Amino acid sequence: MSAAKPLVDYSVYLVTGRELLPPGKDYLESLEESIKGGVTLVQIREKNADTGEFLRIAQASKAICHKYNVPILINDRIDIALAMGADGVHIGQTDMPVDVARRLLPANAIIGMTCNTLEHVRKAAQDGVDYVALGPVWATQTKKVAHPVVGVRGLGELLDVLEGTSVKAVAIAGIKSANTLHCMHGSVSPAGRALDGVAVVSDIVASTDPLSAAKRIATIVQAFKAAPAPTFSLSPSYAADAFTKGVGELLSAVRNHSPLVHQITNNVVTTQSANATLALGASPIMATAPEEMPDLSSAAGFHYNQNRKPVVFDPVGVGATTYRRTSAAALLNAWQPTVIKGNAAELGALANSTEVQARGVDSVGSGFADPAAFVRSLARKERAIVVLTGVTDYVSDGTTVVRLSNGHPLLGEITGSGCMVGTAVATFCAGASTAAAVARGGDEPEDAKLVRGDMLVAAMGGVLAVTIASELAGVRSDVKGSGTFLPAFIDELGALTPEKLAQYAKVEVI
């Protein structure tokens, strides 16, 4: 009777690389410190060592790993794995076939495989691997890759193939503590299949303090795994009232705390966006220099993710050119948006849909056949709140979809109205984040996460504030057209109250 396979925690999967060690750091010392810091699985990778040296390194590594009950795998070399009694092997697409490796290795051996495409994942699952390493997620200097970068968003499609299987999955290439949370959160498949962990090389091996480096990543992965999935079980009639009440509470939070809202936006609309922010009660800062981002993030893309602050992404005219589409994809792989807001053409471009086409920053066509299903699907795919703007607006967190039916025709006749919706959404998100921090006494725990339910209400709040203010401005006697409408609209934004929002809001949960 063969021994059972060892139980494997894939949370923090260390891939060694002695050539990356900092000067004066001993390899075995680094390995033991990394395990003490939270590494749960180790792969020994020795691309340049001869067989004798590889075997000696592997045997010494095994002694340390098994001291802490951490499984050890060997990269590529099945002969080394057999000779030193490894727990398994990791093989690439051009290495020994899985069925041959199974015949050579003990029945309880762990076999993993690198997968870069949907077909790779399907084949690996069919061949009976225990886990797959999906990537490259980002470009890396530690290993030359033969396949294009998958990106965080591409991981979800690969994970989707594993639905219904027992195959585990880790992300690999370019993983470090600064992007681990984005990788874990942003890669979940639409059906809810998440990564089991991350494979890390240089962020731990090249560190002078591998214990702390491993601990940072382990803390993030465990916090992500421990966080419950958001659920919304309110009845439609009650939920609409509850959401509208929540919007009013967030408006009060904005007015009470005047949160800072950093806006990187088109020069054409900076004045309107800043005025709209001020009218709602927040403090705008219109800074665009890359050098300022780290400093601003401590008060307010990537640096906001690091500080657990909400990020609103408004991909203006993203479907108009190839450059805009590729830039948007690069941004979404670099950081995790809290809210994605756009018109039908913009969101259609992000989703690779052909239902709606772009004409500059505008949409061409009748819109989506089922906008509610579209925003729900895109929210699940992008792991963000999605706001679809139009004559009727739709907001979804991937579970709940809310239809908002306020607005005035003059809103579409002024420059920057869409950008002001994005501004208002960001302002309400800032209000929600600030109110939550104040409720905690100002302390931000290391593993804190934004409450997706609050961000759903915040996104609704931004849309409702703009559309209701436009209705109130549009019927004023001093408004004669678009020229007089804009200042009246800013006035009405400033005059909004929770009571007005509750009175005029047209909200339907669908």
User: Which residue has 């139980």 as its token pair?
Assistant: 7
Tell whether the torsion through CA atoms of 431, 436, 439 and 443 is positive or negative.
negative
User: Which residue has 């006697």 as its token pair?
Assistant: 477
For residue 387, what are its two tokens? 């706001």
Taking only the tens place, the pLDDT of each residue in 93-114 is: 888 899 999 999 999 999 999 9
- Domains defined along the chain, listed by start: 12-226 (3.20.20.70), 238-300+314-439+452-509 (3.40.1190.20)
pLDDT by position in tens, the chain (length 510): 356 777 899 999 999 999 999 999 999 999 999 999 999 999 999 988 999 999 999 999 999 999 999 999 999 999 999 999 999 999 988 888 999 999 999 999 999 999 999 999 999 999 999 999 999 998 776 555 556 889 998 999 999 999 999 999 999 999 999 899 889 988 988 888 999 999 999 999 999 999 999 999 999 999 989 875 544 444 455 578 889 999 999 999 999 999 999 888 888 889 999 999 999 999 998 876 666 555 544 434 556 666 678 899 999 888 888 888 888 888 888 888 999 999 999 999 988 887 765 555 555 556 688 999 999 999 988 889 999 999 999 999 988 999 999 999 999 999 989 999 999 999 999 998 888 777 666 544 433 333 345 899 999 999 999 999 999 999 999 999 999 999 999 999 999 999 999 999 999 998
Taking only the tens place, the pLDDT of each residue in 121-135 is: 999 999 999 999 999
Greatest Cα-to-Cα distance within the chain, rounded to the nearest angstrom: 89
Active site residue 429: no
For residue 506, what are its two tokens? 């047209």
262 forms beta bridges with 285
- Amino acid, single-letter form, for residue 397: D
> How distant is the alpha carbon of residue 257 from its chain centre?
27
Main-chain dihedrals φ then ψ at residue 131, nearest 5 degrees: -155, 160
Nearest residue to 262 via CA among 494, 433, 498, 85: 433
- DSSP-derived secondary structure letter, 408: -
In this structure, the dihedral spanned by the alpha carbons of residues 41, 46, 52 and 58, taken in order and rounded to 10 degrees, is -10
pTM recorded for the entire structure = 0.79
Taking only the tens place, the pLDDT of each residue in 280-305 is: 999 998 876 666 555 544 434 556 66
Main-chain dihedrals φ then ψ at residue 145, nearest 5 degrees: -110, 145
Q: What b/e sequence results for 470-495 when a residue is b if at least 16 CB atoms lie within 10 Å of its CB, and e otherwise?
A: bbbbbeeeebeebeebbebbbebbee
- DSSP-derived secondary structure letter, 374: H
For residue 467, what are its two tokens? 């559309």
Query: Measured between alpha carbons, how far apart are the two ends of the chain, in Å?
Result: 56
Strand locations in 389-500 (E): 393-396, 401-404
Q: Are the C-beta atoms of residues 112 and 141 closer than 8 Å to each other?
A: no
